[in-house]
Amino acid sequence: MGRPSRLPGTDVVDQIVCHVDIDCFYAACERLREPALRDQPLVIGMGYEPGEETGAVATASYEAREYGVESAQAISEALERLPRKREAARRDDLAVADAAFYRPVDMEYYESVGAAVKEILQESATVVREVSIDEAYLDVTERASWSDIESYARKLKQEIAETVGVTASIGVAPTMSAAKVASDHDKPDGLVVVQPDEVADFFAPLDVEAVHGIGPVTAQQLREEGIQTAGDLAETDPTRLEEWFGERGRQIYRFARGEDERTVEPRGKPKSFSRESAFAEATDDPSRQHDRLQTLATAVAQRADRRDVLYQTISIKVVTPPFDIQTRARSLPGPVADEDLVQSIVADLFEEFAGESIRKLGVRVANLSFTGETQSQLGEWASESETGSTREHSSSRENSPDGSNRQGQRSLTEFE
Which residues are identified as catalytic?
135
C-beta of 156 vs 346, nearer to ligand TTP: 156
Q: Rounded to the nearest whole angstrom, what is the least distance from the CB of residue 322 to ligand TTP in the complex?
A: 30
C-beta of 42 vs 363, nearer to ligand TTP: 42
C-beta of 61 vs 122, nearer to ligand TTP: 61
Contact indicator for 308, 316 with CB cutoff of 8 Å: no
Task: Using alpha carbons, list the distances in angstroms from residue 208 to 205, 230, 309, 362.
Answer: 9, 5, 44, 46
Give the containing element (helix H, strand E) for 181.
Answer: helix 176-185
Q: Is 24 left (phi over 0), alpha (psi -120 to 50) or beta?
A: left
C-beta of 192 vs 304, nearer to ligand TTP: 192
CA distance 356 to 352: 9
**280 contact choice in Mg ion, ligand TTP, none (CB below 5 to 8 Å, kind-dependent):** none
Taking CB under 5 A as the criterion, the residue among 30, 34, 134, 139 binding Mg ion is 134
CA distance 219 to 307: 44
Q: For residue 20, what are the contacts with CB-CB under 8 A and spacing of at least 6?
A: 117, 121, 135, 136, 137, 138, 156, 160, 168, 169, 170, 183
Contact indicator for 358, 279 with CB cutoff of 8 Å: yes
Q: Rounded to the nearest whole angstrom, what is the least distance from the CB of residue 21 to ligand TTP in the complex?
A: 5
Phi and psi at 13, nearest 5°, equal: -90, 135
Q: Is 110 among the residues that bind Mg ion (CB under 5 A)?
A: no
Phi and psi at 365, nearest 5°, equal: -115, 140
Q: Rounded to the nearest whole angstrom, what is the least distance from the CB of residue 106 to ligand TTP in the complex?
A: 12
DSSP annotation of 313 reads E
Binding residues vs ligand TTP (CB under 6 A) = 21-26, 58-59, 71-72, 133-135, 187-188
Q: Rounded to the nearest whole angstrom, what is the least distance from the CB of residue 46 to ligand TTP in the complex?
A: 10
Binding mask 2-41 for Mg ion (x = CB under 5 A): -------------------xx--x----------------
**71 contact choice in Mg ion, ligand TTP, none (CB below 5 to 8 Å, kind-dependent):** ligand TTP
C-beta of 24 vs 368, nearer to Mg ion: 24
**241 contact choice in ligand TTP, Mg ion, none (CB below 5 to 8 Å, kind-dependent):** none
**58 contact choice in ligand TTP, Mg ion, none (CB below 5 to 8 Å, kind-dependent):** ligand TTP
Q: Rounded to the nearest whole angstrom, what is the least distance from the CB of residue 346 to ligand TTP in the complex?
A: 34
Task: Using alpha carbons, list the distances in angstroms from residue 53 to 81, 232, 272.
Answer: 16, 44, 38
Q: Rounded to the nearest whole angstrom, what is the least distance from the CB of residue 66 to ligand TTP in the complex?
A: 13
**72 contact choice in Mg ion, ligand TTP, none (CB below 5 to 8 Å, kind-dependent):** ligand TTP
How many binding residues for Mg ion (CB under 5 A)?
4
3-state secondary structure (DSSP) of residue 142: coil
CA distance 197 to 111: 38
Nearest to 198 by CA among 172, 169, 168: 172
Q: Rounded to the nearest whole angstrom, what is the least distance from the CB of residue 22 to ligand TTP in the complex?
A: 5
CA distance 327 to 341: 18
Contact indicator for 40, 98 with CB cutoff of 8 Å: no
C-beta of 26 vs 245, nearer to ligand TTP: 26
3-state secondary structure (DSSP) of residue 49: coil
Q: Rounded to the nearest whole angstrom, what is the least distance from the CB of residue 380 to ligand TTP in the complex?
A: 41
C-beta of 21 vs 338, nearer to Mg ion: 21
**391 contact choice in ligand TTP, Mg ion, none (CB below 5 to 8 Å, kind-dependent):** none
**30 contact choice in Mg ion, ligand TTP, none (CB below 5 to 8 Å, kind-dependent):** none
C-beta of 176 vs 342, nearer to Mg ion: 176
**106 contact choice in ligand TTP, Mg ion, none (CB below 5 to 8 Å, kind-dependent):** none
Alpha carbons within 13 angstroms on the beta-carbon side of residue 347 total: 14
Contact indicator for 233, 253 with CB cutoff of 8 Å: yes
Residues forming the site for Mg ion (CB under 5 A): 21-22, 25, 134
